Amino acid sequence: MMKNKIALVAGFSSTGKSTFIKHVLTPSLYALPNRPDAHSFQVVFGGSASDTSLDFSKNFSIVHYNALVGCDNNVEQLDQLEYSSEPALQSVLGQMKDQYAFLTYTPDPILEARIKARKFVEPEYIQDTTPYPSANVLQVLSQVSQRKLLLEIADQLRSKTDKIFVVVSGLHSAIVVPEFMFRTGQPNALLEAVLTGRSIGNEDLLHFAHHYDEFVFSVARHLSLFQTRVNSELRAVG
């Protein structure tokens, strides 16, 4: 059984952290031979102004970390956002040695549309049906580079782990890429397809992920299964 494991999922608001955790990361974990049992597994929410210390008491924790750290409701705080002293992230970093990090990224034009369409703060896990502050989040997006935020988080992580990946999601597809590919903008056919809003086949996605370790390959596989399901549901709706 897994013990004292952690996976960090971090990204800008509306880039798909909760969706990724619920529909991709969690089933990926349970598909592994040494999966955690339900009682020793938890999703921890970090990245709000009150998170000074997170609880990692379970054997396996997935940390949902909002890269805006409360600034989605308070744009004025953006200037003071400093990950090297941000309590929640530093609390996570203490547990991150050789653990996995997934940074979620969505190109700005697609993200803008998602933010405008979103209704609730967090309907997936904590049933927070507070109206989503779309106007504030859009204002933040116009003033800050989500790429810059992600790379700053990656810089913080690098001293602890090299298992850093970026989940890039577009209009009709998503892909898990190593952080260096995102950082350097390394040309790649599948990444290009996602960035330009095209859909990509499962076989191609899995072929791309074949060199990943067992866990990340499982993540890539569940990501492809999830998008197949979503796309077929969308087709059914017409």
Partner 1 sequence: MIISVHIRKCAGTTFKAALTQEFGPKIYMDYGDEVGSSWPSSKTKRLVKHSQMQAQRQALQKNYKIIHGHFYRSKFDFLTVPRDYITFMRDPVARVLSNYYYLKRNKNRKNGDALIVNALGFSLEEYVCHPDCQNLQSQYLQTEDLSEFKFVGLVEHYDASVAELNNQFGLSLPVGPSKNVNQTGSADYDISPETRDLILENNQKDQALYELAQQRMSSWTSAPEYA
**Contacting residues toward partner 1, per CB under 8 A:** 107-109, 145-148, 182, 184-185, 187-189, 192, 195-196
- Nearest-approach distance from CB 119 to partner 1, in angstroms: 26
- Nearest-approach distance from CB 150 to partner 1, in angstroms: 9
Q: 38 vs 189, which CB is nearer to partner 1?
A: 189
Q: 171 vs 206, which CB is nearer to partner 1?
A: 171
Dihedral angle computed from the Cα positions of residues 189, 207, 226 and 57, in that order, rounded to the nearest 10 degrees: -110
Q: Nearest Cα to 5, choosing from 42, 31, 46, 47?
A: 42
Q: 6 vs 191, which CB is nearer to partner 1?
A: 191
- Nearest-approach distance from CB 215 to partner 1, in angstroms: 25
- Nearest-approach distance from CB 197 to partner 1, in angstroms: 9
Integer Cα distance of 163 and 142 in angstroms: 30
Dihedral angle computed from the Cα positions of residues 126, 128, 134 and 139, in that order, rounded to the nearest 10 degrees: -60
Q: 94 vs 197, which CB is nearer to partner 1?
A: 197
Q: 96 vs 209, which CB is nearer to partner 1?
A: 209
Q: 6 vs 193, which CB is nearer to partner 1?
A: 193
- Nearest-approach distance from CB 192 to partner 1, in angstroms: 5
Report residue 70 CA to chain centroid gap: 17
